[in-house]
């Protein structure tokens, strides 16, 4: 029985993840993202035409869940399959997104409305649990993707065909969260992210070494009485850095200085405590919801207290108007301060300009290549372990997909590697 794949988003670009698969007559949608910066959405008109018997959400980042209420207009009565943590976090993120959009555009310009968010119906499933989806015996099972609190990969099975869609995944253990788990081999089709496909420089980077370098730099700055600004993403990176700080304190590597955390990151951190038992966490387990942080408010950002102190502030890309941007304006002229970049920076953002030295700075500027996405070598390892006959590359620009396709071609010469474009339909 063939599988039909239709690209509704993330075809040669990133930011609007949405994939339509038809397996054994059952139509399944995976994710419905909205671009965090441009507001672009998947091809919802095409989704309305195609329809779906089921929808699954891999995780709560905006580029995977931001268009969910809009997608559900096309899928009335459907329940969204997700882990309990993803259901809670996605609800929180969408509420935050709606509030931000209302402030920027007014009610007339909102992408969706509060009543649509409240109307979302969830089919919650733990890792390893199997759920029937659609008809004709097709099932879905969720696996820990290692990317984010509650993030899941989806294994679809039906008609003798197995399709694995990892979403965003990270294969190695990191400071807080264990790496992804995979189903037994073989699978027939792998729908694979390509984020780091062109970044072979990461292949030699190990998370524990990056963590050690970051904590060494933080400790040195604090011991010198300085202030440390780490621009973080609210979901994932903030909690990961908190776990690093907690362990480094316990080992005596970082002084016991105040740590400021605010906004959505603080709310997500508190919420994470509710799902500790369901997570595969690195030993010794750190409950970041119990980390003693101080509130990072706009007033604190406008008049940051003297050091030593650590500020975990959004946005991760230091966009104008954010707490991170306000703090950076104060700390750039402080020679005792350190501004440490711990995540991806879009080339069109102030954070990228700062890191590139396009502004004069007296503080230390450091880069630490933390990532929640699998390295290219890890994606090749996933494919080698699962032995798919077909690999569909998504969630990456053309350079990333081409780089990963080349690496996969060398490692799995008999596998067919596909790079679908917008609206392309593949039958494999």
The reply to whether omega before 284 is within 30° of 0 (cis) is yes
Select 206-367's CATH number: 3.30.1330.60, 3.40.50.10890, 2.30.30.230, 1.20.1300.10.
3.40.50.10890
Neighbours of 413 (CB within 10 A): 7
Domain coordinates of the chain in residue numbers?
A: 3-200+373-427, 206-367
CA distance 37 to 60: 16
Residues 6+ away with beta carbon under 8 Å from 269: 238, 239, 242, 261, 288, 289, 291, 293
- Residuewise pLDDT in 10s, the chain (428 residues): 689 999 999 888 888 999 999 999 999 999 999 998 888 999 999 999 999 999 999 999 999 999 999 999 999 999 999 999 999 999 999 999 888 887 655 545 678 989 999 999 999 999 999 999 987 899 999 999 999 999 999 999 999 999 999 999 999 999 889 999 999 999 999 999 999 999 999 999 999 999 999 999 999 999 999 999 999 999 999 999 999 999 999 999 999 999 999 989 999 999 998 988 777 777 777 888 888 899 999 999 999 999 899 999 999 999 999 999 999 999 999 999 999 999 888 888 999 999 998 989 999 999 999 999 999 999 999 999 999 999 999 999 999 999 999 999 999 999 999 999 988 899 99
CA distance 288 to 243: 6
CA distance 274 to 95: 19
Q: How far is CA 55 from CA 58, 71, 398, in A?
A: 10, 10, 27
Please check whether residue 56 is in contact with residue 140, taking contact to mean a CB–CB distance below 8 angstroms: yes
Residues 6+ away with beta carbon under 8 Å from 87: 57, 80, 122, 124, 150
Q: What are phi and psi of 206, to 5 degrees?
A: -110, 135
Is 277 buried (19+), middle (13-18) or exposed (0-12) by CB count in 10 A?
exposed
Please check whether residue 75 is in contact with residue 52, taking contact to mean a CB–CB distance below 8 angstroms: yes
Degrees to nearest 5, angle at CA 244 with 238 and 248:
145
- b (16+ CB within 10 A) / e for 301-312: beebeebbbbbb
Region 3-200+373-427: CATH code: 3.60.15.10
């Amino acid at each position: 029985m063939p599988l039909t794949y239709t690209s509704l988003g993330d075809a040669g670009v990133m930011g609007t993840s949405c994939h339509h698969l038809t397996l054994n007559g059952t139509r399944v949608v995976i994710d419905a993202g909205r671009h965090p910066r441009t507001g672009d959405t998947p091809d919802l008109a095409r989704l309305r035409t195609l329809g779906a018997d089921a929808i699954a959400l891999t995780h709560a980042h905006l580029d995977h869940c931001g268009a969910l209420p809009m997608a559900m207009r096309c899928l009335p009565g459907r329940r969204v399959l997700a882990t309990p943590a993803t259901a809670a976090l996605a609800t929180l993120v969408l509420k935050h997104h709606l509030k931000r959009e209302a402030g920027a555009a007014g009610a007339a310009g909102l992408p969706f409305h509060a009543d649509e968010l409240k109307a979302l119906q969830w089919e919650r499933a733990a890792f390893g649990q199997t759920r029937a989806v659609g008809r004709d015996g097709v099932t879905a099972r969720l696996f820990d993707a290692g990317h984010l609190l509650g993030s899941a990969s989806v294994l679809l099975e039906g008609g003798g065909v197995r399709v694995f869609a990892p979403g965003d995944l990270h294969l190695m253990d990191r400071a807080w969260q264990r790496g992804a788990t995979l189903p037994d081999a073989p699978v027939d089709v792998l729908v694979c992210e390509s984020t780091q496909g062109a970044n072979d420089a990461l292949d030699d980077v190990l998370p524990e070494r990056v963590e050690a370098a970051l904590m060494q730099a933080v400790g040195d700055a604090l011991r010198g009485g300085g202030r440390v600004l780490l621009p973080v993403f609210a979901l994932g990176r903030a909690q990961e850095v908190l776990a690093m700080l907690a362990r480094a304190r316990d080992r005596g590597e970082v002084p016991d200085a105040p740590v400021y955390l605010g906004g959505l990151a603080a709310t997500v951190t508190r919420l994470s405590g509710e799902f500790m038992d369901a997570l595969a966490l690195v030993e010794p387990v750190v409950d970041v919801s119990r980390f003693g942080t101080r509130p990072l408010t706009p007033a604190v950002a406008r008049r940051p207290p003297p050091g030593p102190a650590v500020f975990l502030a959004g946005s991760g890309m230091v966009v104008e108007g954010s707490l991170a941007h306000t703090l950076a304006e104060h700390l750039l002229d402080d020679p005792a301060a350190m501004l440490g970049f711990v995540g991806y920076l879009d080339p069109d953002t102030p954070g990228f300009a700062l890191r590139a030295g396009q502004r004069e700075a007296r503080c230390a500027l450091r880069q630490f290549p933390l990532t929640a996405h699998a390295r290219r070598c890890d994606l090749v390892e996933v494919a080698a372990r699962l032995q798919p006959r077909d690999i569909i590359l998504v969630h990456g620009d053309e350079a990333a997909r081409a780089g990963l396709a080349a690496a996969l071609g060398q490692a799995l010469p008999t596998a067919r590697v596909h790079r679908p474009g917008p609206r392309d339909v593949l039958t494999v």
